[in-house]
Amino acid sequence: MMSVETEIRFSLNGRPVSLKVPATMKTLAMLRDRLGMTGTKYACGEGECGACTIEIDGKTVNSCLMYAVDCDGREVVTIEGLRTPEGLHPVQQAFVDHGAVQCGFCMPGMIMQSRNLLANNPELTREQAQRGLEGNLCRCTGYTKVLDAVDAVAATNTCGGRANP
Amino acid sequence: MSETIEAITTYLAPRRLDEALQAMADGEATVLCGGTDLAPQTESGARQYKARLLNINRVEGLGGIAADGGEIRIGATTTVAEIRRSAALAKIAPVLVEAAEHFASEQIRNAASLGGNLCNASPAGDMSPPLLVLGAAVELACWRDGAAHTRRVPLEQFFVGPGKTVKLAQELLTAVVFARPAPGFVARFRKSGPRPALEISTVSVALGARVADGRLGDVRVAMGSVAPTPLRARHVEAALEGRPLDAATVAAAVAAAAEDAKPIDDVRASAWYRSHLVKVFVEEVLDDVRGN
């Protein structure tokens, strides 16, 4: 039996969105299957790996655990929202420059979480980055280069306060 | 992503507490807050939805930390991240902030609520031992005879078994309260797992007590993952209460831990290992307090 559908409205990467979602649908499924935003990845589906990390009202969450109905009236930012008219976001560029990307599947989540950490703490230390990224797993085990990339952004202080201007 | 078979006929996200309580009055509502336990439990089939899904995130007055008076009050929808960042709690009850600091991951902390963590009633729930040593109680509200009624249950009487509490299906956990700790109160928390983050604790131990003239008074000791519920370690408490905090007292408390901890073998650890670890943690928290 399908569960009841509810109309929700929210801001997705700065643009207003409205759609009907089943009460039990998770935000990740809504983003990927209903809105075509496939940058956010489905991996473990139970909040262990962080591949599905998005920002909601300025805080990072696992979108696989978040009920889509709870997006109603809120501001959602996904990896697609980081790109600026000039190109990649400084955090994305740093990941490229430092070779932090291996298979790439964990990258949208890693970058969303890293950007949020840097925006909230421009002087983020390596240890703080390690703690802040505890909820993001990379099965290629490329953590060192991820941390190098985050360090580089922290050193140049190029990460703005909000994901979306 | 598996779509579980469900029969949710109504979704509600009320702004007022009385609306939320009325929506639960027949006991046929599933409460949604952070979703960090509800989502995986329903996806795996471990838990079934009821006919009504009640999102309490927008209920006014259910969130936030009130720490000005003699009683500290943490609203049910307060996230673990908010507890971690609370400057007031860092002063009043640092043991709670420390437990929040080592809770899951940042993404989970940003969503998971204190009320949800307690209602989930995991024997390994990380917020329970620190709240037990703070002498916390939970407030349970329900709608009856046209009005809201609230009862208070001491946290140590709240848990019944894994996933089970004394909360009725008609009741909503609205807040956690505890008396402002007296001057001289100290508390410690230890938990263990194979990695620091996102770990279901193998064993956890919390200690809270008033320290005066080298003796412990009003001692509370709590343990997680050593029984079907988080529990007060009465034998350890008795071994400590009013005694000088010396090596003999510590040894007696460590020995008494075996009377309180009744762990099982499971995928995370053997009963033998847990029995050993709980003694180590009791000794560590006491040595830590002695060092002060």
Test the B interface: residue of A24, A28, A112, A137 with most B CBs within 10 Å: A24
Domain with CATH 3.10.20.30 in chain A: 5-81
Domain with CATH 1.10.150.120 in chain A: 90-156
B4 domain-assigned: no
- Looking at the structure, do residues B164 and B86 belong to the same domain, yes or no? yes
| Domain count across chain B | 3
Cβ contacts (< 8 Å) between B59 and chain A: which residues?
none
Each residue's pLDDT tens digit, B143-188: 999 999 999 999 999 999 999 999 999 999 999 999 999 999 999 9
Nearest to A62 among B1, B8, B108 (CB): B108
Nearest to B1 among A42, A47, A134 (CB): A42
Please give the C-alpha separations between residue A88 and each of A38, A81, B187, B281, in angstroms, as whole numbers.
Answer: 17, 10, 47, 48
- In this prediction, residue A157 carries a pLDDT of 73
The CATH code of the domain that includes B246 is: 3.30.390.50
Cβ contacts (< 8 Å) between B1 and chain A: which residues?
26, 28-29, 42, 45, 64
Each residue's pLDDT tens digit, A117-162: 999 998 899 999 999 999 999 999 889 999 999 999 999 876 755 4
* Band (B265; pLDDT cuts 50, 70, 90): confident
What number is the average pLDDT over the span B83-96? 96
Provide the mean pLDDT of chain A: 93
- In this prediction, residue A9 carries a pLDDT of 98
- Looking at the structure, do residues B154 and B229 belong to the same domain, yes or no? no
Percent of residues, chain A, with pLDDT higher than 70:
94
Residues of A with CB under 8 A from a CB of B: 1, 3-4, 6, 22-24, 26, 28-29, 42, 45-48, 50, 53, 59-62, 64-67, 69-70, 72, 113, 131-132, 134-136
- In this prediction, residue B91 carries a pLDDT of 96
Round to the nearest angstrom and report the end-to-end CA distance of chain A. Answer: 42
Which residues 6+ apart lie within 8 Å of B211 measured at CB?
B184, B185, B186, B217, B245, B289, B292
- Domain interval for residue B162: 65-179
- Residue of chain A minimizing CA distance to B105: A135
Provide the mean pLDDT of chain B: 93
- Looking at the structure, do residues B72 and B46 belong to the same domain, yes or no? no
Nearest to B6 among A1, A42, A67 (CB): A1
pLDDT of B195 over the 90 cut: no
* Band (A2; pLDDT cuts 50, 70, 90): low
* Band (B39; pLDDT cuts 50, 70, 90): very high
Specify the CATH number of the domain A5-81: 3.10.20.30
Nearest to B35 among A1, A48, A66 (CB): A66
Each residue's pLDDT tens digit, A60-82: 999 999 999 999 999 999 999 99
Please give the C-alpha separations between residue B198 and each of A47, A137, B102, B107, B194, in angstroms, as whole numbers.
Answer: 9, 11, 9, 10, 10
* Band (B223; pLDDT cuts 50, 70, 90): very high
Least confident of A29-38, B4-13, B60-69, B120-129: B4-13
* Band (B3; pLDDT cuts 50, 70, 90): very low
**Does the distance separating the beta carbons of B1 and A26 come in below 8 Å?**
yes
Topology of the domain comprising A90-156: DNA polymerase; domain 1 (1.10.150)
**Does the distance separating the beta carbons of B104 and A67 come in below 8 Å?**
no
Answer whether 0.90 is exceeded by the pTM.
yes
- Looking at the structure, do residues B99 and B33 belong to the same domain, yes or no? no
pLDDT of A10 over the 60 cut: yes
